[in-house]
Structure 1
Amino acid sequence: TMSSVEMLPEIVEAVNENCEVYLDSGVRRGSDVLKALALGAKAVGVGRPLYWGLANDGADGVHGVLELLRREFDHAMAVCGQTSATNLESNLINIPYNWGPARMAP
């Protein structure tokens, strides 16, 4: 099976700007948020890490996870030489040759 982020570029291309695409699956780190935005998602949902924070330390745990995700995102942005999420483009992402729907072809 393919991950949501692997399918993201094809989905974004298929909708051809007729609707916004949101990604909400498999996001665990701030760098995952950057990847999804660079590949065309307009927004990224973060569920599991927040539930983990809630289960471990209640509201403080959720706050801590959000702060960690923000720091990771900021670090990934800096590594990519970016200062604004609106400037993210797919050429920032190293996409393996056999990645996405092409690997499922017969």
Structure 2
Amino acid sequence: MRPEDVRALALLLPEVVEAAHQGHPDFRLGGRIFATLWVEEERVVLRLTPDDQARVLADSPDLFAPVPGAWGRRGWTSLDLWDVDEAALRAVLLAAWRNVAPAALDGE
């Protein structure tokens, strides 16, 4: 997958807008960031729950890594794009989106 794939898939999610955070494109819902795209590095940083993070790290340790420090302990997770398939990217983008989505929008 490529950075433009992240952008396209993230913007398919309800009410998502693209903005910028520290010079990097990010994706937000209601002003809350759920993913930040590092275009040059071909990776995305996702706002997962610690449980979601543990699951993706166990399933694909070659693709995912916790962000260093306290952010990573809170669930923020880095995903390298070059070997991830579309289904996995969609799944983690949705998981990150759900972490910021109000219950009425999420439908759960």
- Whose helix proportion is higher, 1 or 2? 1
Q: TM-score, normalised by structure 2?
A: 0.23
**Greater gyration radius:** 1
Q: TM-score, normalised by structure 1?
A: 0.24
